[in-house]
Amino acid sequence: MRIVIAGGHGKIALHLERLLASRGDGVVGLIRNPDHAADVTAAGAAPVVCDLESASLEDVAVHLDQADAVVFAAGAGPGSGAARKDTVDRAASALMADAAQRAGVRRFLQISSMGAGKSPEPSRDDVWAAYINAKTAAEEDLRGRDLDWTILRPGRLTDDAATGRVLLAESVPRGAVTRADVAAVIVALLDSPGTTGRALELVGGDTPIEDAVRAHA
């Protein structure tokens, strides 16, 4: 497969690039900062500088030519304000979906967040609320498109080593999950077209990843 990953220098994306490249897939990582190109290359992907906050639809669509799938793994990240939660976590996702449709790429996997699809917790600050609202809006946008989409909502992310075991369902208790396991779940979802049209929450658990994904295919 040829997979294009938006947010190609993110921690989940780098894990994902290594996994996909190790099995022989062609991987393109879209990055905003050219200084990140070496890290993406080291992970086995081809880095492409494309700032999703300023790029046009045509700018993005050209990079999706001949792709089999798109993974939206971009995010404004820690330290960013409410405005960039909207321009990256919502608007950039919509731009990638527009580009996928323009390029004829049907498979689209969106990394969202647990809590999306609900009202933000009142105890959290305004930036968190903006983040959840942006993720919710991105999901709603994707659901309305004629794409073979899957939405993945991980819980609290950690940099611990992969476990290979998760809890994956439409609704799961709050918990943590390693970024490495999130990447492995994305690989399994890409291999499972039967998961199209599903929004799934993910935390660490006891079920082997392939079995967890197969249960939803």
Lowest mean pLDDT among 7-21, 47-61, 120-134, 159-173: 120-134
User: Binning pLDDT at 50, 70 and 90, where does residue 72 land?
Assistant: very high
Mean pLDDT of 66-85: 91
Predicted confidence (pLDDT) at residue 123 exceeds the cutoff of 80: no
Residue 151: the pLDDT is: 98
**Partners of residue 150 on adjacent β-strands:** 109, 198
pLDDT digits (tens, 9 = 90+) for 184-203: 999 999 999 999 999 999 99
The first and second tokens of residue 199, run together, are 């929004």
Task: Compute φ and ψ for 110, nearest 5 degrees.
Answer: -110, 125
Mean pLDDT value across the chain: 96
Predicted confidence (pLDDT) at residue 104 exceeds the cutoff of 80: yes
Residue 148: the pLDDT is: 98
User: Binning pLDDT at 50, 70 and 90, where does residue 121 land?
Assistant: confident
Mean pLDDT of 146-161: 98
Lowest mean pLDDT among 27-41, 121-135, 165-179: 121-135
User: Binning pLDDT at 50, 70 and 90, where does residue 118 land?
Assistant: confident
Q: Which residues of 91-120 are buried (b: 16+ CB within 10 A; e: fewer)?
A: bbbbbbbebbbebebbbbbbbbbbbbbeeb
Residue 77 gets the label, from left (phi > 0), alpha (psi -120 to 50) or beta, of left
Residue 82: the pLDDT is: 87
The first and second tokens of residue 98, run together, are 């527009």
* Gap between the Cα atoms of 180 and 212, Å rounded: 16
Residue 77: the pLDDT is: 82
Residue 109: the pLDDT is: 98
Residue 119: the pLDDT is: 82
